[in-house]
Structure 1
Amino acid sequence: MRLLLLSCLLFLALSCENTNESRLYSEDYETAEASASDLNSPPPPVNEVVRPQQENLKIIKTGNLRFETQDLQKTYARIMQAIQVSNGYVQNDQSGKNYNQVYQNITVRVPTENFQRTIDAIAQGVDYFDEKTIKQQDVTEEFVDVTARLKAKNALEDRYLALLAKAKNVKEMLEIERELAQIREEIESAQGRLKYLQNKVSMSTINIAFYKNSVETKTSQSYGSKIVNALKSGWNGISTFFLGLLHVWPFLILVALGVFFTRRWMKKKKKK
């Protein structure tokens, strides 16, 4: 009886041990399989863009304004004050004069949150705009795409750096460094594009052109001034006439000789 009891206990112990070993082997296999699946599964596509919320949209705002003013200096001072209040700055300032127009062109950059406020401040005192254009360019998709590409390139660079540390010979090192150089170039390009987009999104651009028409006024002249001007004009006419004669004097001599010989021939003919 005792021998039978010991046999049963030994059988139960061996069964429990086999069960534990099977369970541990199953867990290790599942873990290894999951790791292999992670390694073999393709990375998420870079071009797959998740549309952000409305408040996270990346918008580039640009404004173009053109109008006439009666006082260039006051208008310029008002624009400068509006830019200062909006924490903006002047990127370009150009002034000049056409045939009948004095103009000034200004390009300013203001924080995007102050864009409309600056437009409204500039519009004060303007009767009408020859041109008023507000453009909004949505670059959210490009912004997200460049950010994802940059993240992927940084991760790829880290993996190549780890491979470089494990390189066994010079050939492997050169191949890895060549790949690293290309990856770093792509990273710098993506960083530059991302910085450009961030600047354009955070700081809006406003192109302002204003002008003043210059009218030439004719001053009234007194009667004496008119006489003096008439005498000057007559004298200028006489001078022009004699100067013209100097230009044609050879022809006048030929005409005079022709008349002289013709009259002389006519007199001889009458005597005969």
Structure 2
Amino acid sequence: MRKAYSCLILPVMVLAACGQRHYRSAEDTAHSPEQQAVAAADSTDFSSDISALNSPSRKRVRTADVRCRVQDVFRAASRLEQTVTAVQGIVVESRMKNEAVQQHELPYTSDSVRQVQLYTPTASLTLRVPVGHLDSVVHTLTSMAAFIEYRTLTDQDYTWNYLSNSLKNDKLAPVKKIKPDAGTSSLDIAKFEEEQHEKSVDRSISNMQLLDNVAYSTFTVQLYQPEVADVQVVVNPQQFKRAPFGTEVRTALRDGAVMMRNILLGMLQVWPFWIAVAAGIAAYRRYFAKSR
């Protein structure tokens, strides 16, 4: 009998260890970062009273938009990118280009020309800055600006949108499973539950995106500088279009001979006209002689 009990001890210990491991695995999964993020997005617990307009628990989204003229677009854009990176921000987009304004070609020497290209360097940046450093980053840009065309700062409150999504998802949590009856089928119930689940997910994603916008402000920058002239001395292409002098002489003689040939052929082609002219002259002379 003791031998039978001793044989059962090992399987029971193995099953207990597996069950404990499974319980820990399920507990770890329940507290995964993804689920924690969703739970935080659907949370209605605020650290302070949200009825106050300047409450730190309000979900406020700040943005900035600046267009200004600087002395050097490349240097200003590079410094701004370094500043954003230093405060743990992100450069979403940074685009620099030269917009051509005018182009002129001026004579320089007998076989070259001076090419003058006028262009305006511009840059457009989209930055994501931690909300606590937005003012300092904007100040860094404005301190480099020679002329500010416009500067727009916005502070929009999305507290009630966030709270609406959270309460809707919180209301869906305790709903019991719907059972089919005479008017509904299992397929209708499954479709309804799937729609409700998708709406809940969309609201959770919307709140997560809102929290991201609250934590990181979007800073849109447009830079430009005065026109810059790019001067280059290039070979005059007209010089390469002309043939050597000897070739031009031969071509001129050949073209003259062709022209004389065409003239002679043209005169011979209108021989009836010459006969009529000769007859008219002869008749005129005869008439003039009789009149005398």
Aligning the two structures, in what range does the TM-score lie when normalised by the shorter sequence? Answer: 0.5 to 0.7
Q: Distance in 2 between matches of 1:153 and 1:255?
A: 104
Q: Of residues 92, 112, 116 in structure 1, which corresponds to 2:135? A: 116
Q: Distance in 2 between matches of 1:255 and 1:113?
A: 94
Q: Which amino acid aligns with 2:202?
A: S
In 2, are the aligned partners of 1:106 and 1:209 still within 8 Å (CA)?
A: yes
Per-residue CA shift, 1:139-181, capped at 9, x if unaligned? 122111111112112232xx32xx67xx99xx98766545432
TM alignment of 1:222-237, pairs within 5 A:
none
- Runs of at least 4 residues off by over 4 Å: 171-179, 216-219, 252-256, 258-265
Q: Tell me the CA shift for residue 263 of structure 1.
A: 6.2
Q: Which amino acid aligns with 1:215?
A: A
In 2, are the aligned partners of 1:69 and 1:126 still within 8 Å (CA)?
A: yes
In 2, are the aligned partners of 1:67 and 1:131 still within 8 Å (CA)?
A: yes
Partner of 2:62: 61
Alpha carbons of structure 1 residues 177 and 67: separation in structure 2 relative to 1, 3 Å? same
User: Is 1:195 paired with 2:204?
Assistant: no
Q: Percentage identity across aligned positions?
A: 13
TM alignment of 1:36-47, pairs within 5 A:
none
TM alignment of 1:86-101, pairs within 5 A:
86-99=87-100, 100-101=119-120
Q: Of residues 207, 210, 214 in structure 1, which corresponds to 2:220? A: 207
Unaligned runs of 5+ in 1: 1-49, 220-224
Q: Which amino acid aligns with 2:228?
A: S
Q: Tell me the CA shift for residue 126 of structure 1.
A: 0.8
In 1, are the aligned partners of 2:94 and 2:125 still within 8 Å (CA)?
A: yes
As a proportion of its length, which structure holds more strand? 2
Partner of 1:75: 76
Q: Of residues 155, 168, 172 in structure 2, which corresponds to 1:136? A: 155
Partner of 1:19: none
In 2, are the aligned partners of 1:154 and 1:187 still within 8 Å (CA)?
A: no
Q: Of residues 123, 127, 132 in structure 1, which corresponds to 2:146? A: 127
Q: Distance in 2 between matches of 1:148 and 1:201?
A: 19
Alpha carbons of structure 1 residues 64 and 257: separation in structure 2 relative to 1, 3 Å? same
Q: Distance in 2 between matches of 1:131 and 1:173?
A: 60
Question: 3-state DSSP class of the match of 2:209?
Answer: helix
Computing the radius of gyration from Cα coordinates, the structure with the larger value is 1
Q: Which amino acid aligns with 1:257?
A: G
Q: Which amino acid aligns with 1:119?
A: V
Q: Of residues 249, 269, 272 in structure 1, which corresponds to 2:280? A: 269
Q: Distance in 1 between matches of 2:68 and 2:217?
A: 20
Per-residue CA shift, 1:96-120, capped at 9, x if unaligned? 2322222221111011111111111
Q: Distance in 1 between matches of 2:174 and 2:188?
A: 18
Q: Which amino acid aligns with 1:194?
A: N
Alpha carbons of structure 1 residues 268 and 92: separation in structure 2 relative to 1, 3 Å? same
Q: Tell me the CA shift for residue 215 of structure 1.
A: 2.7
Per-residue CA shift, 1:32-81, capped at 9, x if unaligned? xxxxxxxxxxxxxxxxxx95332222222221122223323311221012
Unaligned runs of 5+ in 2: 1-48, 101-118, 286-292
The TM-score, its normalising length taken from structure 1, stands at 0.58
Q: Tell me the CA shift for residue 185 of structure 1.
A: 1.7
Partner of 2:26: none
Q: What is the root-mean-square deviation in Å for CA atoms of aligned residues?
A: 4.1
As a proportion of its length, which structure holds more helix? 1
Question: 3-state DSSP class of the match of 2:151?
Answer: strand
Q: Tell me the CA shift for residue 266 of structure 1.
A: 3.8
